[in-house]
C-alpha cells in the first residue's frame, strides 16, 4: 500500500531528538528552529515528559470518557492556574482543528445562530467548520463551503462592527497571531475594541491560540498582551509537546449540557500525563520567560540582517520577511547549515524553536545566517 501523497517532503528522516536538536538516520545533527511546526514547547524528549508517559502507559494508557479520570481534573487545575484562567472550564480533544470545531459548535449552541466572522488570510485547520473559516479556497471542498462565513480585514473594527450589527453572528474567531499567512500580530487596540463590540452584540469571541499559545509569545496566550478575556480559547500544538492533545478553555457564562460535546480519545490518560508534564516543566524551567528573553534577543540580532524586509511577531513566534533575492535561504540553512526553519507565504521564514532554546543555540543560528547573508556589526 502507498501513502496518500498529500505532503511535500524534505528528503530527511529524523530518528532521534533531544532539547533543540534532531538527528537523522545517518547521524547528521540538526538545530530545530521549526519545533516540528510550533509543536515542541519544552524541548524534544525532555526526561520529565518521557518518564511521565512511560510511567502512565505502564499503569493505564486509555479507558473512556464514561468513567472518572482524575488526570483530566489535575490538568485543568494546573492549566487554569498557569494560564490565568482559573474560573474557565476545560474541554479536551485531540488536535487544533478539533478544538476550533468544538469552539464554533459551542458558540452556535449558546447563541442559537450560525454565521461566523473570520479574518482574511486566516488559518484554523482542515476539518469541515475549521476549513470553512480558513481564508484559502484551494483547501475548501464543495462539501466545506456550506457554512455561513464572512471574511473581513484584520485590524478593521468597522468591518467587524458592520457584520455584528446585522444580528445573525454566532462568533468572531481570530488567531492570537496569524501564523500560516506569515506572522501578522493583531493590534492590541483592535483586540480591545473587538472584545467590546462582541460583548455589546452578544457574539462569542473565540481566540485561536493553537500556534500562538502555550507560552510561545512570552505570555501564556498572546491575547494577554492586549489585556482582553475572550469567551473561548482554542489550544493544541505546544500543549502536548508532540503528544496529540487539544482543548478549549470556556468562560463560566457557558452552560454545559450532557452530550453537547464529546470525543472517544480526547483527554485520555496518556495525553493528560504528557500535558501535565509539559505544564510542570514550563513552570519549573521558567520557559515562558525564556521565550520572551530569547525572542527579544533573536529579533534584535535579526534586525541587523540585510536580507530582511521586516521582522514580525512576539517571543519565539517570529516571521522574517525576506527580500526576493534570498528566497533560497531556508533551503541553504537546512541543507548546508543543518537548521530547520518554517516557511510561510511570500518568502516569509517562520522561526518557531522550542521554548527552551538557549542563547548559545540562538548564536549558532545567527552565525550560520551570517555565513549565508551579510549582517551588519
Ligand atoms: C492557528 C491554527 N489553528 C488551527 C490549526 C490546526 O491545527 P491541527 O493541525 O492540529 O488540526 C493550526 C495548525 O497549524 C493553526 O496554526
Note whether 172 and 240 are same-domain residues: yes
Note whether 303 and 227 are same-domain residues: no
Note whether 40 and 54 are same-domain residues: no
Which of 99, 125, 180, 181 most suits a substitution to test ligand 1, by most atoms within 8 Å of the C-beta?
125
Note whether 261 and 296 are same-domain residues: no
Between the CA of 59 and the centroid of ligand 1 the distance, in Å, is: 31
> What is the position in ligand 1's atom list of the atom closest to the CA of 237?
10
Residue range of the domain that includes 327: 14-46+286-372
The H-assigned helical ranges of the chain are: 35-38, 47-59, 70-83, 96-111, 128-132, 157-164, 188-200, 269-284, 287-302, 329-335, 359-372
**Number of structural domains, the chain?**
2
Q: Over its length of 377 residues, how does the chain's per-residue pLDDT go in tens digits? A: 999 999 999 999 999 999 999 999 999 999 999 999 999 999 999 999 999 999 999 999 999 999 999 999 999 999 999 999 999 999 999 999 999 999 999 999 999 999 999 999 999 999 999 999 999 999 999 999 899 999 999 999 999 999 999 999 999 999 999 999 999 999 999 999 999 999 999 999 999 999 999 999 999 999 999 999 999 999 999 999 999 999 999 999 999 999 999 999 999 999 999 999 999 999 999 999 999 999 999 999 999 988 899 999 999 999 999 999 999 999 999 999 999 999 998 899 999 999 999 999 999 999 999 899 865 54
Which of 100, 102, 129, 210 most suits a substitution to test ligand 1, by most atoms within 8 Å of the C-beta?
210
Residue 78 burial by CB count (10 A; 0-12/13-18/19+): exposed, middle or buried?
A: middle
Closest residue CA from atom 2 of ligand 1: 124
The three-point CA angle 367-373-377 to 5° equals 65
Q: At which residue does the C-alpha cell 541587523 appear?
A: 304
Residue 4 lies in a domain: no
Between the CA of 124 and the centroid of ligand 1 the distance, in Å, is: 5
Note whether 236 and 303 are same-domain residues: no
Residue 6 lies in a domain: no
Residues with CB under 6 A from ligand 1: 95-97, 100, 123-125, 175, 179-180, 208, 210-211, 236
Closest residue CA from atom 8 of ligand 1: 96
Amino acid at each position: 500500500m502507498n501513502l496518500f501523497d498529500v505532503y511535500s517532503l524534505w528528503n530527511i528522516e529524523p530518528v532521534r531528538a533531544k532539547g533543540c536538536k534532531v538527528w537523522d538516520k545517518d547521524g547528521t545533527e540538526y538545530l530545530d528552529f521549526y519545533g516540528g511546526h510550533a509543536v515542541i514547547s519544552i524541548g524534544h524528549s525532555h526526561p520529565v515528559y518521557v518518564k511521565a508517559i512511560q510511567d502512565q502507559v505502564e499503569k493505564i494508557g486509555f479507558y473512556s470518557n464514561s468513567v472518572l479520570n482524575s488526570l483530566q481534573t489535575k490538568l485543568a487545575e494546573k492549566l487554569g492556574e498557569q494560564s490565568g484562567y482559573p474560573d474557565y472550564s476545560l474541554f479536551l480533544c485531540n488536535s487544533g482543528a478539533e478544538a476550533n470545531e468544538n469552539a464554533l459548535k459551542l458558540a452556535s449552541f449558546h447563541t442559537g445562530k450560525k454565521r461566523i466572522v473570520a479574518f482574511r488570510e486566516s488559518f484554523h485547520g482542515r476539518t469541515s467548520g475549521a476549513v470553512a473559516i480558513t481564508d484559502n479556497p484551494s483547501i475548501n471542498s464543495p462539501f466545506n463551503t456550506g457554512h455561513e462565513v464572512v471574511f473581513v480585514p484584520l485590524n478593521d473594527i468597522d468591518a467587524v462592527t458592520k457584520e455584528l450589527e446585522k444580528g445573525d453572528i454566532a462568533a468572531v474567531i481570530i488567531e492570537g497571531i496569524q501564523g500560516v499567512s506569515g506572522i501578522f500580530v493583531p493590534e492590541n487596540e483592535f483586540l480591545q475594541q473587538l472584545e467590546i463590540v462582541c460583548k455589546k452584540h452578544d457574539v462569542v469571541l473565540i481566540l485561536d491560540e493553537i500556534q500562538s499559545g502555550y507560552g510561545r509569545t512570552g505570555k501564556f496566550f498572546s491575547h494577554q498582551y492586549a489585556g482582553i478575556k475572550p469567551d473561548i480559547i482554542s489550544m493544541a500544538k505546544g500543549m502536548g509537546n508532540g503528544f496529540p492533545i487539544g482543548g478549549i478553555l470556556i468562560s463560566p457564562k457557558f452552560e454545559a449540557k450532557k452530550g453537547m460535546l464529546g470525543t472517544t480519545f480526547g483527554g485520555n490518560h496518556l495525553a493528560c500525563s504528557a500535558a501535565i508534564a509539559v505544564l510542570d516543566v514550563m513552570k519549573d524551567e521558567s520557559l515562558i520567560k525564556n521565550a520572551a528573553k530569547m525572542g527579544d534577543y533573536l529579533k534584535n540580532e535579526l534586525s541587523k540582517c540585510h536580507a530582511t524586509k521586516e521582522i514580525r511577531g512576539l517571543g519565539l513566534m517570529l516571521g522574517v520577511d525576506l527580500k526576493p533575492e534570498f528566497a533560497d535561504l531556508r533551503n541553504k540553512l537546512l541543507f548546508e547549515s543543518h537548521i530547520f526553519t518554517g516557511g510561510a507565504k511570500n518568502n516569509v521564514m517562520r522561526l518557531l524553536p522550542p521554548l527552551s532554546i538557549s542563547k548559545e543555540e540562538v548564536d549558532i543560528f545567527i552565525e550560520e545566517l551570517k555565513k549565508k547573508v551579510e549582517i551588519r556589526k
